[in-house]
Amino acid sequence: MLLCLFSLFGFSCVKKDRLQAILESGEITVLTRNTGHCYYTYREKPMGFEYELAKAFGDYLGVKLIVRTPAWEDLLPDLDKGKGDIIAASMTVMPLRREKADFSESYLEVRQHVIRHKDNTEVRAIGDLKGKTVHVRRGTSYEARLNGLKNEGLEMEIVLHDDAPTEELIRMVAEKEIDLTVADSNVAFLNRRYYPEIRMAFPLGEEESVGWAVKKGERALLAKVNEFLGKIKADGTFEKLYNKYYANVEIFDYVDLKKYRDRLDERLPKFEAMIRKAARKHNFDWRLIAAVVYQESHFDPEATSHTGVEGIMQLTRSTADHIGIQDHRDPEQSIMGGVKYLRKLYKSFNDARDPDRTYLALASYNVGRGHVEDARKIAEERGLDPNSWASLEQVLPLLRYRKHYKETKHGYCRGTEPVRFVNRIRIYYDVFRRQAVN
């Protein structure tokens, strides 16, 4: 009877849920953080692991994504006030937070780590925090964990920073402005490449779950989020996005990265104009080419590989002849020829899209296009995308084994080498970009 009365006066007694509102408006608003692992812009292009996940969710729903970046302590209150539909901010799931919002199923497991400078050798275990000062952002799971240790009798000082990104506190440790901070493992791994002076001293506890949050009671939206997360885990989308931002950050070589940063200052200036000229002519980001040159020769025109290949771009004699380079040991000729050859390889993968297309070209530069084509064929036979670098990372190492290469056109190759080659260039290029050099 009440339903009828409401209907007569033009009212509805059924409250529209958030998912319905999103679908009808054609927009979904995500609340996230403006950080290197959540959301940022690079040359006016939005990027970030959480952003790309949220964008994929918007596409899944067929709606436009709107991004808001409130202060950390405002994320949950803003969600409750309806200023956003979901929180996608690498937020760990805690009992206190569950009282304020409903969380999705976990899509990532992380552990908190104490972060110190490499010179700070006093802090190696939890007990070493006694008498020390640890800096963390207010309202985080880091603060909760440290307070728990204090309540258990571990005397230390906890300095709370309002809305300070974890990356900023890590920078402060690297530059010795503060002694200690805490970061989730994924954030620590990512920033270790930018600040090779830091160390992950030890974990503070067990693994924690990371999830998206929706307003309390929004069951339909939460169910759709979980459905989406399950789908992208199953079809490989999640892995591809994770690898884009976090792959190989666990493989850390302090000496190598420190040497790289030093040589960017010491050796690169001599060859920078040559690299910029070649990159401009063949339409590449010059910093990518600089990363390739470093990987090949450490900016040393006299470099000779263990296979006898010489020069700053490590061009073989046959390749140099093929692309018309007279003296592949001459730095300018070698750089121009190497970039010309890379562009030729890039053009050959016209079915692939960037960044995969670039990675396929780089792998071919290292090991030869024939082996890459063999790997692509195996990938296709295994139901994998032959135009995806994530697929080739899995398949190229198989070419070391006879049962896999015996049916291929080009036979055996050390398939781990092109994988390592590409991924190191990705790291060098990323470090270079983060230095804001244009």
Rounded to whole angstroms, how far apart are CA atoms 419 and 391? 11
Residue with tokens 């970030």: 48
Cβ–Cβ < 8 Å for 223, 103: no
Cβ–Cβ < 8 Å for 317, 387: no
Cβ–Cβ < 8 Å for 248, 426: yes
Q: Which of 174, 74, 83 is nearest to 120 (CA)?
A: 174
Cβ–Cβ < 8 Å for 417, 391: no
CA atoms within 13 A on the CB side of 308: 1
Cβ–Cβ < 8 Å for 3, 202: no
CA atoms within 13 A on the CB side of 412: 5
Is 296 annotated in the active site? yes
C-alpha triplet 198, 203, 207: angle, nearest 5°: 125
Assign residue 150 a region: left if phi > 0, alpha if psi is -120 to 50, beta otherwise? alpha
Alpha helices, DSSP H only, in 152-218?
Answer: 166-174, 185-192
Hey, what long-range contacts does 340-348 have (CB within 8 A, 24 or more apart)?
340/278, 340/282, 341/315, 341/365, 342/282, 342/284, 342/289, 342/292, 343/282, 343/283, 343/284, 345/369
Distances (CA, A) of 199 to 118, 156, 180, 265: 6, 20, 10, 23
| Pairing outcome for strands 112-117 and 180-184 | antiparallel
Number of neighbouring beta carbons within 10 Å of residue 220: 14
Residues 6+ apart with CB under 8 A from 261: 196, 431
* DSSP letters for 20-41: HHHHHHTEEEEE---STTT-EE
Cβ–Cβ < 8 Å for 181, 132: no
Check 218, 296, 310, 393 and give the catalytic one: 296
Direct distance between the N- and C-terminal alpha carbons of the chain, in angstroms, rounded to an integer: 69
- Label residue 209 exposed, middle or buried (CB < 10 Å: 0-12, 13-18, 19+): middle
Cβ–Cβ < 8 Å for 209, 109: yes
Q: Which residues are catalytic?
A: 296
